[in-house]
Structure 1
Amino acid sequence: MTTPLPSTRPPRLRRIQTTGLVLLVASGALNYVDRATLSVANPLVRHDLGLSVQGMGLLLSAFLWSYAFAQLPAGILIDRLGPRRMLSAGLALWSVAQALGGLVAGFGQFFAARMLLGIGEAPQSPASARIVRDWFPVGSRGTATGIWNCSSTLGSAIAVPLLTVLMLHLGWRWMFICMGLAGLSLAALFYALHRDPADLVLDEAERAHLGDAADAGGPVTLRAWRRLFAYRTSWGMIAGFFGCIYVLWIYNAWLPAYLESDRHMSIARTGWVAAIPFLFGVVGSLVGGRLVDWLVARGVSPIDSRKYPMAASLLGTALFTVLAAMVGSNTVAILCISVAMFLIYVSTATAWAMAPVAAPGNCTASLGAMQNFGGYVGGALAPLVTGAIAQRTGSFEAALLTGAAVAAVAALAYALVIRDPIPPDAADFPAS
């Protein structure tokens, strides 16, 4: 079936799609800015609360572990209750947790606030994948995914300058509180403006444009959710995303320290130079999403149009990470890291574009959340492993080479393990 041109989209559908993507980019960028608050306030928080370096490391990892393990229940809840309710609730919860970070009196309270932040942020990406599945036809899902996925690196790029300004003018406590209040406002806006398909009655033109998106099946059951683990495609996505997010979090957590210690850059210069690779990531996400739709339009199957770019971009990430570790020139190293970040975000965009075509319609968020669980187990391990290797060897070279090896193995997982879409459960489509 030929996908209609964008100009043929029914006006209401165009409005829903545009509003949804704007809200997803805004919430996704806020999601990543909020993650960075503790990193930016690190020295002041340690001083004011009397924390050790080890204690700060535990605080920084608290978010990642709670975020990873909250993915599994978040996915099934999104598929049962809908993205509108779950993402609005998640936004509100993580914003309350962020504001509480400005009111804490000690390590225990801060640890709890960071754990709550991870739980609240868990629905963001799986809900975004489900919204794309609900409101975009197959031939447009890659581009839509690339747009919302670029919010992560966009948020990372603007986080340090924005949060530094707030902290210098208001103090670190009010920085946390202000970001919490901004998130609560966005949660209310998302609930007011976004709609799930169950909230509306689609006309014939809208259903014709959406194609299979208009018929996702019944609400996901626990049986159908467990059934996803029986398919090799699920495990290929989990293993591949583990490697993808592992490498990403080497750069997220350690890039400034690497530039200062191994590349001997000043703190002032590092603050600006470290933002360059993340800007490349914005472009990578948009290119990855567009590439998927370009391949589909040329007859490549929806699964293969995601699978091959995921594997190729991770192999490229491995290559340029090795080059970044080995070259002597700081300029060339930054260029290699920027290309690696571009390719990482090609991979994340195509990986998230996989969920809406690999899963049955009513399991999109569930499969996306399983993938993200695997990814953020890797993300939680990366800062710990990288720090341990750097401390033992005295540089980040071996840690970067380890990350390159993980990326190469992940590329093989994508290429060799993922095969066919997961078929729908017959129980979700009872005979009439």
Structure 2
Amino acid sequence: MPMSKSADLAVMEKPAAPAAPVVATSTLQWVILGLLALGALVSFVDRTSISAALTVPSFKAHFQLSDIDRGWVNSAFFWSYAVLQVPLGWATDRYGVKRPYTVCFFVWCVATALTGLTTTLSALIVMRLIVGAAEAIVVPASWAWIRRNFREDQSGTAVGIYMLGTKVGPAIGAPVAAWLIVAFDWRAMFVLLGIVGLLWLIPWNLLVKNDLPKRVEPGRVEPGRVEPGRAEKAAAAPPMASGKQVRVILASPMVWGSMVTNFCYNYFTFYCMTWMPSYLVEQRGLPLQQMGLYSFFSFIGIAIVALAAGWVADRLIERGYDPILVRKVFTIAGFLFASTVVLGAFADTVNEALFWNVASLSGLGLTTANHLALCRLTLIPKSIVGLVTGFQQVATALAGIVAPILSGWLLQVSGSYNLPMQVIFVFLIIGAFTTALVLRPQWAPRVVETEA
């Protein structure tokens, strides 16, 4: 049976293996992928370290922080992070990954270190804005590099490895920051994290070559294909800076659907980063040490499941199954499994609540690698991955702004964490339905790709 391109969920049938040539992936490419995962880990440690500082009495007294002030400090990162996603996504398509990432990595590490030297609230917020703006490069650059260097039957594993950094980072960020504060103080914590992070730039600049982007123009061709006979016209077309390219992307229902699923996925994960510790302590009565342990298990769980699910999906695709269908099945299964978080909210015992707390976030790992591989690799032409990812990351940043604010308001009006968790359940179900109905190959953006 020929490979099915249908986006409908049906029984997976094994079609004939494609005859496309296989391009070998070098050891260096996997090493650089590990560097990207480590870079993502550094970014999450730097962005979450502030949560530990905001619990320290001397830090709050130094800046004379009220609860409203603490809210502004927490949200400052995501405002600039959201604004710079699309411009920096375009930059990775226009100038390649290596140089923009190098500059931004240096900027956010320096801003993190300088946070330890700030003396006013306004300066503190400015530093958080700078960190958010510079870290906006991480996701678009990483996905652009993965898309250009790994085959379809490797992308799930590649994404799983990369996502280890994005999940281990928040798992260790607050504990590492807390340990440094106890061992030294909050000022030294910021300075040390910023300086140590700069060491990552050494292997990055030694191992990664300058990657030349491609020139593109809109066209009705399959993603990633070169339309014969149009090389001269494509080469003469301007790079991704044109508003015409942006209109092509925004005209794609698939891109809008991916933004919805990105929001739904990240609403849950940002809730876990910001409110799960308080839920475990205030509603389930865990001591701080035990709370940190269960938070760590939850984020390590999603990282392990994401890697395993990506690998299994790759093996199915390698055997000839439709990559779009395979990844959609895993994505929907993850959204549905994660929706069991609502069972933890209404659990009668602490042990039952803790089980669903860890299991629901871990189960979302079925979605993690496969959803992102589908929306940023499988359905997106190589030449516009950075820009499309930038648009998708706006939805991610919006989830980072909305999740803690809305959850806090729901907690205040209801007096319980049950209502915030019910809202999470609703978003996860929306994510599953959107994946099934909207993430279709015929609705993906189309471009003509050719070498510059």
Normalising to structure 1: TM-score of the pair? 0.90
Native 8 Å contact 2:254 2:440 kept in 1: yes
The amino acid of 1:43's aligned partner reads T
Instruction: Name whichever structure is richer in helix by fraction.
Output: 1
Equivalent position of 1:90 in the other structure: 104
SS in 2 for 1:198: coil
The amino acid of 2:272's aligned partner reads Y
Instruction: After superposing the two structures, state which structure 1 stretch, 283-292 or 106-115, moved more.
Output: 283-292
**Cα 1:184–1:250 shift into 2, 3 Å:** same
Equivalent position of 2:43 in the other structure: 31
Q: CA deviation at 1:2?
A: 5.3
Question: What aligned pairs does 1:137-216 form with structure 2 within 5 A after superposition?
Answer: 137-198=151-212
1:281 aligns with 2:295: no
Aligned equivalent of 1:352, options 372, 379, 397: 372
The amino acid of 1:323's aligned partner reads L
The amino acid of 2:304's aligned partner reads V
State the identity %. 27
The amino acid of 2:364's aligned partner reads I
Unaligned 5+ runs, structure 2? 1-17, 214-223
1:248 aligns with 2:269: yes
Larger RCO (alpha carbons 8 Å, 6+ apart): 2
Native 8 Å contact 1:313 1:343 kept in 2: yes
Native 8 Å contact 1:167 1:174 kept in 2: yes
- Quick one: distance in 2 between partners of 1:53 and 1:136? 46
SS in 2 for 1:130: helix
Deviation digits for residues 212-268 of structure 1, max 9, x if unmatched? Answer: 699998743422233111011101100111100001111110111001111011223
- Quick one: distance in 2 between partners of 1:139 and 1:279? 25
**Cα 1:108–1:291 shift into 2, 3 Å:** same
Equivalent position of 1:297 in the other structure: 318
Native 8 Å contact 1:31 1:121 kept in 2: yes
SS in 1 for 2:209: coil
**Cα 1:72–1:198 shift into 2, 3 Å:** closer
SS in 2 for 1:43: coil
Q: CA deviation at 1:104?
A: 1.0
**Cα 1:138–1:124 shift into 2, 3 Å:** same
**Cα 1:140–1:122 shift into 2, 3 Å:** same
Equivalent position of 1:271 in the other structure: 292
**Cα 1:381–1:103 shift into 2, 3 Å:** same
Q: CA deviation at 1:323?
A: 0.7
Question: What aligned pairs does 1:310-349 form with structure 2 within 5 A after superposition?
Answer: 310-318=331-339, 320-349=340-369
- Quick one: distance in 2 between partners of 1:382 and 1:193? 38
Equivalent position of 2:417 in the other structure: 396
The amino acid of 1:81's aligned partner reads Y
- Quick one: distance in 1 between partners of 2:426 and 2:319? 33
Native 8 Å contact 1:3 1:139 kept in 2: no
Native 8 Å contact 2:338 2:428 kept in 1: yes
Q: CA deviation at 1:271?
A: 2.2
Native 8 Å contact 1:310 1:414 kept in 2: yes
**Cα 1:213–1:146 shift into 2, 3 Å:** farther
Deviation digits for residues 83-116 of structure 1, max 9, x if unmatched? Answer: 1112112211111121121111111111111111
Native 8 Å contact 1:213 1:361 kept in 2: no
Deviation digits for residues 306-356 of structure 1, max 9, x if unmatched? Answer: 2222222112211x1111111122222122121211122332222221211
- Quick one: distance in 1 between partners of 2:42 and 2:253? 34
Q: CA deviation at 1:297?
A: 2.2
Normalising to structure 2: TM-score of the pair? 0.86
